[in-house]
Chains A and B, each alone.
Chain A
Amino acid sequence: MNVLVEYFDVFVGGFWLTFQLCVLAATGALLLGTVAAIMRISPLPPLRWIGAAYVTVFRNSPLTVVFFFAAFGLPALGSNADFLRVPGLTTLFERLGIDLPYFRFAVIALSLYTGAFVCEAIRSGINAVPAGQAEAARAIGLTFTQNLRYIVLPQAWKSAIVPLGSVIIAMIKNSALAGFFGVVGDLSSSAQALTSAGGEPIIPVFIGISIGFLVMTVPLGLLLDRIERRRAVLR
């Protein structure tokens, strides 16, 4: 158990980096997913097709393939994902700005992959709004945009929040893959470094790494359970 005390800063650092990755990827995924969801319900068929294609591709391919694409495909194209070096963001998240691109690749891969699931969660929320709501809105003369903005989306948001939460939890767990694709210093790469290179005993390292993840996933899960139960009573 000495490892836990001795390498405390490694665990905390790993947690911190994984947390940053999760925040960035969650933001990206929510943006992408919302855009895709809007495309999927738009009246223009080409936009609907693009949205559907995006969701089908990323929901059905393993995250590993997406990561491989990001980590080996983008360099083969000569891209360093420099567009993520947004001036303000790089001061907040230092990893975004460094020369090694793997953190940026991880953000891209996670956002793209999770975005598809976010889109599905939002769409299921929209589908859960009773048809009469949208019909009533149309009957009193609201346009498509007004209908979405004032009637459908506020209600859809309510029933989408629980599925969205579980998507984000899944994403936090998926972020562990980043450590195997060149991101240095996050929880899973620390696990590798401590056990393989450092030769530290397995079980304590496992406990330390697990705590790092559980600190993020378990409270979120409990929060979701609570929201779900309150919703159930409200209905």
Chain B
Amino acid sequence: MSKQQTVLYDAPGPRTRRLTVIGSVVAAVGIVAAAHVLIYRPLAEKGQFTMEKWGPLIDPGNEVFSLVWARLGEGFRATLLAAGIAIVCSLIVGTALAVLRVQLKALRPRRFVGFARPLAWLIRGTIVGLNALTRFCVEIFRGLPVVITIFFVAKALPDLGLDLGDALWYLVIGLTIYNGIVIGEVLRSGMEGLPSGQREAADAVGLTPFQGTWLILLPQAFRIMLPALISQLVVVLKDTSLGFIISYEEVLRVSTFIIQVLNNPIQVYAVVGTIYILINYLLTKLAEYVERRMSSGRRGPVAKTPRKTTKTPAAAGADAAA
């Protein structure tokens, strides 16, 4: 129970506690009854609990058990492979994009007085143009559904004479376009959220704008945005399942094959869904853990060395108040 919930009501006295217990029992009975009527009965009536449907998935003695799980394993490997490549590519693209956009922003006010005037105008024009172009691309691809991006990447690239053969690469490209941009925006907002003194200090000690971005701003933005980045991993892993629309043999497509043979959609999707939920749940917990650690281990955004949590009760109180 979080702090906010305990704040909503008083510490219960004996009467409230009794009422809570009674209410809980009533609610629990109601929920069980509703689950029985709305979920269990229809499922049982349609024979969804028979071993004929579940056996291939949970009974090791079943003749197709090992076959089914071998196929599912292949599917999961394909899913994780695509997700892994997509994550790495998105991180690279996202970092590059964030650095580029911050860089362009830092360069915009410069007048390039050392150069000949036409050259200076040319450079400034390029900077303004690039800025507008990256902004445009970000807005477009952030507003488009990933499904549509993947679908059209898989259709358009072979059309333009770039046949990559394996559906994996279309999926990776589609996912990278979207998630790279999202990660780029996350990092950029992280960098822009830093105190302006960071950039000024970098300039003052004589770093070039690029060095300032790369050495000073980016590492801090990574640290601050780590929870957001991890939750983006969950998004990538979930979106990998969209590969089925371009016939990439990830786990859901494999499941459709299995279902065509065994005719047990509910059971197969329940198992696959559970595995997905487990993986993503662990990742989400990891993100929460990282977030908690960082909010307690750091005072202000300028801690250079990641200190082990040295939290006094007073600091904890200040945290809660902040």
With an 8 Å Cβ cutoff, the count of chain A residues facing the other chain is 59
A174-208: CB near B (< 8 Å → 1, else 0) gives 11110010000001100110010000011100100
Cβ of A2 within 8 Å of any chain B Cβ, yes or no, is: no
In this assembly, does B159 line the interface, its C-beta being within 8 Å of a C-beta of chain A?
Answer: yes
Q: Which residues of B contact A73 (CB under 8 A)?
A: 265-266, 269
Judge whether B245 and A180 touch: CB under 8 Å. Answer: yes
Interface string of B264-279 (1 = CB under 8 A from A): 0110010011001100
Find chain A residues with CB under 8 A from B31 CB. Answer: 46, 50
Q: Is the CB of A65 within 8 A of B276?
A: yes
| A213→B31 CA distance, assembly (Å) | 40
Q: A60-B234, A138-B9, A202-B155 are in contact. Are A43 and B20 (CB under 8 A)?
A: yes
List of A residues within 8 angstroms of B269 by Cβ: 65, 68-69, 72-73
CB-contact partner of B3 in A131, A191, A195, under 8 A: A131
Contacts of B2 in A (CB 8 A): 127
Contact B252 A68 (CB under 8 A): yes
Interface size class of B (residues with CB under 8 A): 35 or more
Contact check: which of A41, A129, A202, A217 meets B159 at CB < 8 Å? A202
Residues B146 and A173 in contact, CB atoms below 8 Å apart = yes
- B266 A76 Cβ-Cβ under 8 A: yes
Query: Is B104 an interface residue, CB under 8 A from the partner?
Result: no
CB of B152 within 8 A of CB of A202, answer: yes
22 pairs from A and B in contact (CB 8 Å cutoff): A41-B4, A41-B8, A43-B20, A46-B24, A57-B277, A59-B280, A61-B276, A65-B273, A68-B252, A73-B265, A73-B266, A76-B46, A78-B42, A131-B3, A134-B4, A138-B7, A138-B10, A169-B143, A195-B155, A201-B159, A214-B143, A221-B139
Q: A44-B24, A60-B276 are in contact. List 15 more A-B contacts (CB 8 A).
A: A44-B20, A50-B31, A60-B284, A63-B238, A69-B266, A78-B42, A78-B46, A134-B4, A134-B7, A134-B8, A177-B147, A177-B242, A210-B148, A214-B140, A217-B143
Residues of B within 8 A of A (CB): 1-5, 7-10, 20, 23-24, 27-28, 31, 42-43, 46, 48, 139-140, 142-148, 151-152, 155-156, 159, 234, 237-242, 244-245, 252, 255, 259, 265-266, 269, 272-273, 276-277, 280-281, 284
